[in-house]
Amino acid sequence: METRIFHITEQNMDEAALAVAGEILQKGGLVAFPTETVYGLGGDALNPDSARRIYEAKGRPSDNPLIVHICRIEDMYPIVREVTPRALAIAEAFWPGPLTLILEKSDRVPYETTGGLDTVAVRMPSHPVAAELIRCGGGYIAAPSANLSGKPSPTLAKYVVQDMNGRIDAVIDGGEVGIGLESTIIDLTVEPPQILRPGYITREMLEQVLGQVDVDAAILEGGGDLVPKAPGMKYRHYAPQGDLIILSGEESKVVDYINKAVPEDVRGGHKVGIICTDETAGLFGDAVIKAVGTRKDEESIARRLYSILREFDDEQVTRIYSEDFESDGLGQAIMNRLLKAAGHRIIYV
Ligand code: TXA
Ligand code: MG
C-alpha cells in the first residue's frame, strides 16, 4: 500500500486535503493525524473492520481498547449509555483537550473498538487539524497513538512515517505536537473516579471539578503484581532498544553514579546515552548526552521525552541512564512513561 502524505497545519487548513482524508476514513481506511498530545492512527470507530485494520497496522493485541475521538461534546451522547452529570461537568471543564473519559458504552460502539469491553474511552482533542479531520471522517474516529506497538508514541510525523509507511493509507504532517505525552485517562464508571493514565490534566485539576479522585496504584509502582486497569498500560511500552536505567537521589550523587558507570559500560562494549536536564547537561563525561528540557518547565520535558527515546534508537545506543523527575503534577505523567520505558528499573543512590 502506498501511504500518502498531506501537509496540513493550523495556519494552512487545506480543506480539500482534509476532505480527501475524511473520505478515506469513511471508506474504512486509516489516516494518521496530529493531536495536541501525540500523533494518532485514525479509523472509523463505528466500523469493526477499521478497528481490525488499526490493530493489524500497529501490530497491537486486539484486547487493547481504542479511544473514540469526537469533535463536539454532544456527539458523546449516542456512543455512551448515559452522560452522567459528572461526565458532562468534566467534559465542559476540559474539552476540547488532553483528557479521555471512560464511560459505559452504547450498542453503537462495536466490541472491536472497545477490545471486548462494555465501556468506551472518549476524547475530544483540541488540535484544530484533528477536530476538522474527525468532522470530515464522520464524527467518530478511533485513534491509538500512531506508533508500532511497543515503540514510543510519535510526536513528529517523521516517526509516524518510520513506523507506518506502507501500512496505512495516509499521514497528515502537522508539525511537532504541543504536549508530547498521551492524554490523561479517567474512569468515571467507578466511585470515586480513578485516573488510569496520568497526563497533562493532573489529579489536582480533576479534583477541582469532581472532588476526590483516586490514581490507579499500578501507575507509579507497577513492575510487581499490580495489574493496571487500562489494558494498554500493562504492556511494556514506550521502550527504546537500549536498556534504560533511572537514577533517583540527590543530583550530585546521580551525576557521580552515572559518571562512574559510563566508562565501565563503554569498556563492556556499550554505546551509552544519558537523559539529563538543562541544569545538569554540562556535568557528564563522554557519552551521547541529551538534555530533555529544564526542571523549571516540566512541559518542556514532556514535549521532548519520546523523541529523545527515538533518537537513541536511531543512534544505536545500547544503554541509557536517566535522571528521575517529580512524582506529582505533570511530573507524574513523565515518571510513569519513563518507568515503563525502563521496565521499572530504578536505582536509588
Ligand atoms: O492522547 C491520546 O490519548 C492519544 C491520542 C492519539 O489521542 N491516544 C492514545 O491511544 O494514547 P492509545 O490507544 O495509545 O492508548 C489508549 C489507552 C490504552 O492504555 C487503553 O488500554 C486505554 O486507553 N483504554 C481505552 N479504552 C479503555 C476502556 N474502555 N477502559 C480502560 N482503558 C481503556
Ligand atoms: Mg499508545
Task: Quote the pLDDT of residue 237.
Answer: 64
pLDDT band at 346 (very low <50, low <70, confident <90, very high): very high
Average pLDDT over residues 46-73: 94
pLDDT at 213 over 90: yes
All 3 cell numbers of residue 231?
A: 489494558
Q: Which of 100, 119, 237 to mutate to test the pocket of ligand 1 (most atoms within 8 A of CB)?
A: 100
Q: Which of 112, 122, 145, 237 to mutate to test the pocket of ligand 1 (most atoms within 8 A of CB)?
A: 145
Give the burial string for 248-257 (b: 16+ CB within 10 Å, else e).
beeeeebbeb
Average pLDDT over residues 97-110: 98
Is the CB of 183 inside a 6 Å radius of any atom of ligand 1? Answer: yes
State the chain's mean pLDDT as an integer: 94
Q: Which atom of ligand 1 is nearest to the CA of 183?
A: 1
Average pLDDT over residues 66-88: 98
Residues carrying CATH 3.90.870.10, the chain: 4-220
CATH class in words for 4-220: alpha beta
Dihedrals phi, psi of 139, to nearest 5 degrees: 100, -20
Q: Does domain 243-348 have CATH number 3.40.50.11030?
A: yes
Residues carrying CATH 3.40.50.11030, the chain: 243-348
Report which bound ligand comes closest to the CA of 144: 1
CA–CA separation, 243 and 258 (whole Å): 14
Report which bound ligand comes closest to the CA of 33: 1
Task: Quote the pLDDT of residue 327.
Answer: 82
Neighbours of 113 (CB within 10 A): 29
pLDDT band at 227 (very low <50, low <70, confident <90, very high): confident
pLDDT band at 240 (very low <50, low <70, confident <90, very high): confident
Dihedrals phi, psi of 47, to nearest 5 degrees: -110, 110
CA–CA separation, 305 and 47 (whole Å): 34
β-strands 141-142, 194-197: how paired? unpaired
Task: Quote the pLDDT of residue 225.
Answer: 65
Answer yes or no: are the C-beta atoms of 233 and 215 closer than 8 Å. Answer: no
| Helix 298-314 / helix 330-341 crossing angle, nearest 10 deg | 20
Average pLDDT over residues 214-219: 87
Is the CB of 45 inside a 6 Å radius of any atom of ligand 1? Answer: no
Is the CB of 307 inside a 6 Å radius of any atom of ligand 1? Answer: no
pLDDT band at 330 (very low <50, low <70, confident <90, very high): very high
pTM: 0.95
CA–CA separation, 214 and 30 (whole Å): 35
Answer yes or no: are the C-beta atoms of 215 and 329 closer than 8 Å. Answer: no
pLDDT at 39 over 60: yes
Report which bound ligand comes closest to the CA of 64: 1
Residue among 331, 334, 278, 289 at smallest CA distance from 311:
289
pLDDT at 349 over 80: yes
Give the burial string for 60-88 (b: 16+ CB within 10 Å, else e).
beeebbbbbbbbebebbeebbeebeeebe
Terminal CA-CA length for the chain: 50
Q: Say which DSSP state 145 is in.
A: B
Residue nearest atom 20 in ligand 1 by C-alpha distance? 232
Task: Quote the pLDDT of residue 106.
Answer: 98
Task: Quote the pLDDT of residue 302.
Answer: 97
